[in-house]
Amino acid sequence: MTLISILDAATTVTRSPFFNPMAFGVDDNSTICALSTPPGSGGIAVIRVSGPAAFRCTRSLCPFLPANPESHRVYFGTARELRGADAIDDVLVACFATGRSFTGEETAEINCHGSPVLTASLLKELVEAGCRPARPGEFTFRAFMNGRIDLVQAEGVLSLIESQSKSAARAALRQLKGRLSAELSKIEDGLVWILAQLEASIDFSTEGIEVMSSEAVCDRIQDVITSCDRLLDSYRQGRLFAEGLRIALVGRPNVGKSSLLNALVQEDRAIVTAIPGTTRDLVEGRIMVQGIPVTVVDTAGLRETGDEVERIGIERARQALEKADLVFHVIESSRVLLDEEKADIAALVALPGNDGADRHCILINKIDAADGDAVAARLRELAAVGVTKQTAKIFEVSARTRHGLEELEELLATKVRADVSEMSEVVMQTRHFEGLQKIHSCAARALALITKDESAEFIAFELQDAIRAIHELLGKEFNEQVIDRIFKEFCIGK
């Protein structure tokens, strides 16, 4: 692919019908309708109508609308049945002209009282007037196909709808407004500029003319790599925004994990008995810390067992341990640690990086029922395998008296504050992370080729791959599988 063909794709793909919309189940000439507010009873409901006949179909049951309604104006009147002209409800209808709506199409939004009976009646009349029910995400899909938003912004719509915290909502809104798209476009501009210099160098190579020095090209590629690094580094933060922090309570049976879960979330989420193995499946509770949701997972006690149900619970406990952002390994203050228990703790704490001491905490529980000698004995047992308060986070706690829980809560707040900072943009979707990794790899290979004084054609090939990856992120190039994967997660009406 030449530089000219790449630039042509960048300016035409999002505007041309190269993608067959029928693969998404969409007839571009149809007018669609759907309830855009959540189903069920409420004060107000909104029905959205979009397509070339949106005004005509809406006017069929809202005869008070003028023949040519003014864009961005709201009209009040009574909606009536097409046959019999019986009144359905008093409604407000907001009209948006072609090119001035979210979808880019002629759009009407009917605001009615939030009764399921009324919304069902209005939707039935709209279908009889010539509309068809919208499919999940179809309004946003049309906005994308009509060039109103790019694919990254479309995913921002879904992230905003699904946001579980104020931080997640702010990050999703920035994505919807195009902040992440702008960063990707800057990277694209840098790559296209470098590729243009290489193309010119290739064209003038026979004349011995150097269009730009290798040092200058290396500097520009390094700028691209630095931008990719910054966005890739934000993925951990973005995932925290989107999913929150996840904590797994693990340990031997009957060490008080369920009691700690109940104490942390201040709610009786888990059954607590003196019988070992009471917890057979994962039990979750949720709290909010610094505006970020924190999910605490109680797991089955880790031990060898012949009970098939308990064995499955233990396997799920190990899976929860692997997926958790923090692991609270609970031990009992008055009970001697088993050799395998000490080995497990030592091995986990010794793991490198975020998988080691930064991720695993040891909780010496039930200190209200033990004397100081017992706690000291547990600390000596841990120290014997290299786990001390200098090498790991060790807390002395009591679920019954809540002793030490304030320290745990402060640990969570510190971790959230460390991971969550106000940034102009963060990467929250795995698709974006994987795309940026590819762009980074291509740019790094191009830089290595330049330093080895390799042929400009090989360097251009890597840069073309990087530009193609950006086009796929923004939706300038895409395939049916990507579109289906993204928009099938949307609800009907968005």
Residue 397 · residue 152 · CB < 8 Å: no
Q: What is the CATH number of the domain that holds 62?
A: 3.30.1360.120
Domain with 459 in it: what CATH number?
A: 1.20.120.430
- What DSSP string runs through 47-64? EEEESTTHHHHHHHH-TT
pLDDT of residue 132: 93
CA distance 259 to 110: 51
Amino acid, res. 121: S
* Claim to verify: residue 281 and residue 397 sit in the same structural domain: yes
389 assigned to some structural domain: yes
Characterise 216 by phi-psi region: left (phi > 0), alpha (psi -120 to 50), beta (else): alpha
d(CA 367, CA 407): 15
Is the CA virtual torsion 39, 267, 415, 325 positive or negative?
negative
Determine the Cα angle at 52 with ends 92 and 13, to 5°.
Answer: 120
Beta strand 292-298 pairing with 245-251: parallel
pLDDT at 398: 86
Is 36 part of any domain?
A: yes
The per-residue pLDDT for 306 is 47
How many structural domains is the chain composed of? Answer: 3
Residue 492 falls within a domain, yes or no? no
Q: Where a domain ends, among 130, 165, 186? A: 130
Backbone φ and ψ of 440, nearest 5°? -60, -45
CA distance 442 to 448: 10
pLDDT of amino acid 354: 45
Q: Which residues does residue 292 pair with via DSSP β-bridges, in sequence order?
A: 289
Instruction: Please check whether residues 414 and 454 belong to one and the same domain.
Output: no
The radius of gyration of the chain's CA atoms, rounded to the nearest angstrom, is: 29
Whether residue 12 lies inside any domain: the answer is no
Nearest to 234 by CA among 282, 297, 167: 167
Asked if residue 440 and residue 399 are part of one domain, the reply reads: no
- Does residue 324 belong to any structural domain of this protein? yes
Residue segments in the chain with a per-residue pLDDT below the cut of 50: 1-24, 26, 209, 270-281, 302-307, 310, 354
Do 293 and 360 lie in one domain? The reply is: yes
Query: Does residue 360 share a domain with residue 258?
Result: yes
User: What confidence score (pLDDT) does residue 188 get?
Assistant: 93
Which of 437, 342, 350 minimizes the C-alpha distance to 385? 342
pLDDT of res. 15: 33
Q: Could you tell me if 101 and 250 lie in one domain?
A: no
Among 130, 160, 193, residue at a domain's last position: 130
Coil, helix or strand for 74? Answer: strand
Q: How far is CA 223 from the centre of its chain?
A: 27
Report the distance separating Cα 414 and Cα 395, nearest Å.
15
Residue 395 and residue 288 in one domain: yes
The verdict on residue 81 lying in a domain is: yes
Together in a domain, 339 and 367: yes
Residue range(s) defining the domain that contains residue 81: 32-130
Mark whether 392 and 252 lie in a shared domain: yes
Same domain, 228 and 261: no
CATH classification at residue 365 = 3.40.50.300
pTM of the full structure = 0.72
Q: Is the residue at 112 inside a domain?
A: yes
97 lies in some domain: yes
Shared domain check, 340 and 271: yes
- Please check whether residues 405 and 479 belong to one and the same domain: no
CA distance 300 to 308: 13
Q: Which amino acid is at 214?
A: S
Q: Which of 76, 98, 130 is the last residue of a domain?
A: 130
